[in-house]
Amino acid sequence: MSNITLEAKNITKYFHDPTTVKVLSDINFSVNKGDFVSITGKSGCGKSTLLYILSTMDTDYEGELWIDGESTVKRKEAELAKVRNEKIGFVFQFHYLLDEFSVLENVMMPGLKLGKYSPEEVENHAMEKLKMLGIENLALKPSNQISGGEKQRVAIARALINNPQIIMGDEPTGNLDQKNSQIVFEVFKQLAEEFKQTLLIVTHDQSFANRTHRIINMEDGKIIV
Amino acid sequence: MNIKLIIKIAKSLLLARFKQTLVAAVGVTFSISMFIALLSFMAGLNDLLDGLLLNRTPHVRLYNEIQPNSNQPIYSQFDTNNTHNFIHSIKSTVSRQEIYNSEAIMRTLKKDQRIMGIAPKIITPVFFNDGAIDITGVVNGIEIQSEGKLFHFNEYVTAGEPADIERLSNSIILGKGLADQLLANLGDVVQVATINGERFPLRVVGFFQSGMQELDKTQSYASIATVQKLKEKPNNYITDIQIKLKDLAKAPQIAKDYARLFEIDAVDIQTANASFETGSFVRTLISYAVGVVLLIVAGFGIYNILNMMIYEKMNTIAILKATGFAGKDVQKIFLVIAMSIGFFGGLAGLILGFGLSAIIDQIPFETPSLPSVNTYPVSYNPTYYVIGAVFSLITTFLAGWFPSRKASKVDPVVIIRGK
């Protein structure tokens, strides 16, 4: 088994509306197991677009994407959903918790979907993750009654529930104040260093990027460093 | 496992918009209950109207038709295969109206498993003399027991004791209209003249009211023995055998069988009353049409609410998809929502519909022509409840299908980036 978790080969993407624009051209890079990588660049350079392609949610591109040694090109929507469920954890800029559920249920949701463990086991795992992030006291609260920083930590717990190959973040600190950004960064750092969790974070926060292990800098749809 | 999770998510989404859900469910409840109440009432009315006719009409009637002989003498000389015979002025033969060998026929009929019962009858036209005028009428000679059992005769006798026509000799039950014309009361004697000119005094022991006025103005009933005496015929003389079957639908076939077997004329109820069936069919059709329209309207309500819910829950759908729910799972969630609205709304509708029918059943409905009916007729046929339940599920499924397909096609990237 190779050490590569995620590999992008010659990824090119166009936007067709209103006119055809090349947003990504010939992106090649790979992420190794245990890497803590950040993608930076100016607004509009295509870094978020790239992340959505890497996350398998966007399938309208040219090139190849390999996740955990498997190609994701030309796979069915349901299969890609399974890949996302099992191998990728997500943290978005806006927490995106399901308001109808409690914090614990939000964290459990992808685990229940995976169906690998019984609901009781999933609940135990979810509590472990919440404990690890120091928010186990929030478990039974409705998810719309906690603060923004807490929400983002809940989202991280949810991303971790299925022990994914890689965690992807889209500006995870973009909407947080200094203090909460610091907390979230510490969580990521802890995950990378203590648990050897692979992380791929898109950010335009240079100070955040500087503290990661590897920086991929993008400009005009190309990787420059 | 997966289904449990999908139901759990659907439930949470439903409860989050409880008021809207309730409105949609009430729409289904309303339409189903109206559907049930309408059909039950309509069917009850149909049964009543059918009963007016069916109760008194034999499913198969055996008799001798007055008609020209189908085997004319010339056919024995020139058969119709080679020649064409022109015969002018054919007349009906003066055949006997009596059923030949009636006792043997009745014995055979009683052994037939398809038959519920038989009732012999003599129909004879007479004149009722009332002073200077003669009123034409018909005397039906009946066997009161079988007539009562098979054709509910007793229900239509509004005054007097039906069995008296057999207990008291020379007695008669008059149609109410006829009695009014003759100014006859119970116990009076009316003069009856046969076509041959014989006059008979008959005692009135009861009045009869069928619900059809024209019928009541001409019909009267006496025992078979009385009519045989009237016609000066022996005691095996009958003109009609009325047959009631276990299965009404088999009447045309059975009528054909007996016509051949007994060499007699046989007419089935479907042929004799073709227009009547059309009427009850059209009434049923109309009530179904109204019911289905109600359900479709409720379906649009569900469609609207689900559509709105999907727009409101775009974020939820996007996040479910991003964390590994496939389009199909999302579609199932919204289908479950629609179906549960249909299920619970429909269930409440069935109960409410039953309640409404029960209320209609209690409303007084007095009509002089229908002495046996006191309240509005309602049918509690379980078929309507089954149809209502199935329809509520089908409509809500269809109403949920299109919005849920839309939900399954939501592109999570657009939603997540768009914020």
Tokens of B177: 């209209």
Nearest 5°: phi and psi at A142? Answer: -65, 140
Q: What is the pLDDT of residues B4-50, one digit of tens each?
A: 888 888 888 888 778 878 888 888 888 888 888 888 888 888 878 77
What number is the average pLDDT over the span B96-114?
A: 84
Contacts of A52 in chain B (CB under 8 A): 413, 416-417
Which residues in chain A come in under a pLDDT of 70?
1-2, 95, 225
B306 and B248, same structural domain?
A: no
pLDDT, residue A2, reads 62
Q: Any chain A CB within 8 A of the CB of B322?
A: yes
pLDDT, residue B366, reads 77
Which of B237, B271, B305 terminates a domain? The answer is B271
Q: What is the pLDDT of residues B159-187, one digit of tens each?
A: 888 888 888 888 999 998 999 888 888 88
Q: Any chain A CB within 8 A of the CB of B249?
A: no
pLDDT, residue B418, reads 62
B300 and B243, same structural domain?
A: no
Q: Is the pLDDT of residue B1 over 60?
A: no
By C-alpha distance, the chain B residue nearest A116 is B1
B28 and B120, same structural domain?
A: no
pLDDT, residue B352, reads 93
Alpha helices (H) in B157-273, listed in sequence order: 164-167, 176-182, 213-216, 224-230, 251-262, 269-272
Confidence of residue B368 (pLDDT cuts 50, 70, 90): low
Nearest neighbour of B325 by CB, restricted to A81, A93, A158: A81
By C-alpha distance, the chain B residue nearest A89 is B323
Contacts of B318 in chain A (CB under 8 A): 96
Query: CB distance B329–A81 less than 8 Å?
Result: yes
Contacts of A99 in chain B (CB under 8 A): 16, 316
Q: What is the pLDDT of residues B345-367, one digit of tens each?
A: 889 999 999 999 999 888 888 77
Nearest neighbour of A158 by CB, restricted to B5, B323, B326: B323
Strands B60-63 and A4-15, by their bridges, are unpaired
Q: Does B170 map to a domain?
A: yes
B155 and B26, same structural domain?
A: no
B162 and B13, same structural domain?
A: no
Going edge to edge, which strands form the sheet with A36-41? Answer: A88-91, A166-170, A198-202, A36-41, A214-219, A222-223
Q: Does B73 map to a domain?
A: no
CA-based R_g, chain A, Å: 17
Query: CB distance B326–A77 less than 8 Å?
Result: yes
- Rounded to two decimals, the ipTM of the complex is 0.82
Highest mean pLDDT among A60-69, B215-224, B320-329: B215-224
Contacts of B333 in chain A (CB under 8 A): none
B284 and B412, same structural domain?
A: yes
Q: Any chain A CB within 8 A of the CB of B326?
A: yes
Query: CB distance B329–A94 less than 8 Å?
Result: no
CA-based R_g, chain B, Å: 33
pLDDT, residue B351, reads 93
Confidence of residue B94 (pLDDT cuts 50, 70, 90): low
Domain of residue B371: give its range: 2-54+276-418
CB A95 within 8 A of CB A152: yes
Q: Does B407 map to a domain?
A: yes
pLDDT-wise least confident of B103-112, B197-206, B317-326: B317-326
Interface of chain A against chain B, CB under 8 Å? 48, 52, 55, 57-58, 77-78, 81-82, 84-86, 90, 92-94, 96-101, 109-110, 112-115, 158, 170
What number is the average pLDDT over the span B278-303?
A: 80
Confidence of residue B327 (pLDDT cuts 50, 70, 90): confident
Query: CB distance A115–B2 less than 8 Å?
Result: yes
Min distance B303 CA to chain A CA atoms (Å): 22
Q: Does B90 map to a domain?
A: no
pLDDT, residue B370, reads 66
Contacts of A107 in chain B (CB under 8 A): none
Min distance B410 CA to chain A CA atoms (Å): 11
B325 and B222, same structural domain?
A: no
Interface size, chain A vs chain B, as Cβ–Cβ contacts under 8 Å: 74
pLDDT averaged over every residue in chain B: 84
CB B370 within 8 A of CB B152: no
pLDDT, residue B171, reads 92
**What is the number of structural domains in chain B?**
2
B38 and B155, same structural domain?
A: no
Q: Is the pLDDT of residue B59 over 80?
A: yes
DSSP for residue B168: S
CB A200 within 8 A of CB A39: yes
Q: Does B88 map to a domain?
A: no
Which of B213, B246, B271 terminates a domain? The answer is B271
Query: CB distance A48–B417 less than 8 Å?
Result: yes
Nearest neighbour of B322 by CB, restricted to A77, A84, A115: A84
Give this prediction's pTM. 0.68
Q: Does B80 map to a domain?
A: no
B332 and B403, same structural domain?
A: yes
B203 and B149, same structural domain?
A: yes
Query: CB distance B315–A96 less than 8 Å?
Result: yes
Q: Does B356 map to a domain?
A: yes
Mutate to test the interface with B, among A76, A91, A112, A122 (most CBs of B within 10 A): A112
Query: CB distance B316–A100 less than 8 Å?
Result: yes
Q: Does B79 map to a domain?
A: no
Q: What is the pLDDT of residues B273-289, one digit of tens each?
A: 777 777 778 887 887 88
CA distance B124 to A52: 96
B314 and B236, same structural domain?
A: no
Q: Is the pLDDT of residue B369 over 70?
A: no
Instruction: Return the CATH architecture of domain A34-60+72-223.
Output: 3-Layer(aba) Sandwich (3.40)
CA distance B194 to A100: 90
Q: Any chain A CB within 8 A of the CB of B133?
A: no
B312 and B290, same structural domain?
A: yes
Mutate to test the interface with A, among B313, B314, B323, B330 (most CBs of A within 10 A): B323
Q: Is the pLDDT of residue B120 over 60?
A: yes
Which of B228, B247, B271 terminates a domain? The answer is B271
Confidence of residue B203 (pLDDT cuts 50, 70, 90): very high
Contacts of A58 in chain B (CB under 8 A): 413
The larger pLDDT score, comparing residue B12 to residue B418, is at B12
CA distance to A161, B46, B55, per residue, from A113 (Å): 11, 54, 64
